[in-house]
Amino acid sequence: MTKSGDGGAGVRLKRLKFRSWHRGFKEADLILGHFADSRMETLSEEDLAAYERLLEEPDQDIYDWVLGRRDPPPEHDTEVLVMLRDFRHFAETLWKR
């Protein structure tokens, strides 16, 4: 687990949260931003690295992979994407209330 008070790790988490909320594509901002706020500090180092790589991809691709509209390439077919898909379904139930 990574904690935000770990100096460089804290900066990394803040940077990832900022990038998650400021994608430029509102729907992706909502999914990725809420995911980052609620799950980022519990991710393993491996999952954080996978999330960082995922954020390098175009917004529309990430959005389509999370929604299951298209299959992700093998390098992004990770546990993090599974977590994002599960989170999206959970968050949708809360947003509909």
Parent domain of 34: 8-95
Mean pLDDT of 76-97: 81
pTM, whole model, 2 decimals?
Answer: 0.83
Quick: pLDDT tens for 26-72. 989 999 999 999 999 999 999 999 999 999 999 999 999 999 999 99
Residue 2 inside a domain? The answer is no
Residue 29 inside a domain? The answer is yes
Whole-angstrom distance, CA of residue 32 vs CA of residue 88: 9
- pLDDT, residue 5, reads 47
> If residue 62 lies in a helix (H) or strand (E), which one and from where to where?
helix 59-67
Residue 1 inside a domain? The answer is no
Residue 15 inside a domain? The answer is yes
Residue 85 inside a domain? The answer is yes
User: Looking at residue 62, which CATH number applies to its domain?
Assistant: 1.10.150.250
Q: Give the count of domains, the chain.
A: 1
Largest CA-CA distance found in the chain, in angstroms, rounded: 38
Residue 28 inside a domain? The answer is yes
